Structure 1
Amino acid sequence: MKTKDKIFEIIIILLLGFSLLANILQWEENRELEELKDAYREEAAGDKN
């Protein structure tokens, strides 16, 4: 029974790790998109003036 518990714990830890990694990658992508939007807005504001 202890072996099954250890395997279950390892699987849960791996799933949590992959979830954290996916969240970090998504956060990075969102940050890059925000930077692009800001640059576009600045360029659009510069074209109007």
Structure 2
Amino acid sequence: MTNIYIRQIASTVDIDKDVTTDTARHSFSTVLKRRLSLSVSAWVIRNPDD
């Protein structure tokens, strides 16, 4: 069900590729890796509710 919503959002912003929760997770991790220190990235990934 979540993938349906993600695909609708992708369509709304004119992304023509197949976007899923897996794509979003990898994209999020890539942004963290490129923008934040390793320790902060690891903390965010381990503590999603904090």
Larger relative contact order, structure 1 or 2 (CA cutoff 8 Å, min sep 6): 2
Q: TM-score normalized by structure 1?
A: 0.35
Q: TM-score normalized by structure 2?
A: 0.34
Query: Which structure is larger by alpha-carbon Rg, 1 or 2?
Result: 1
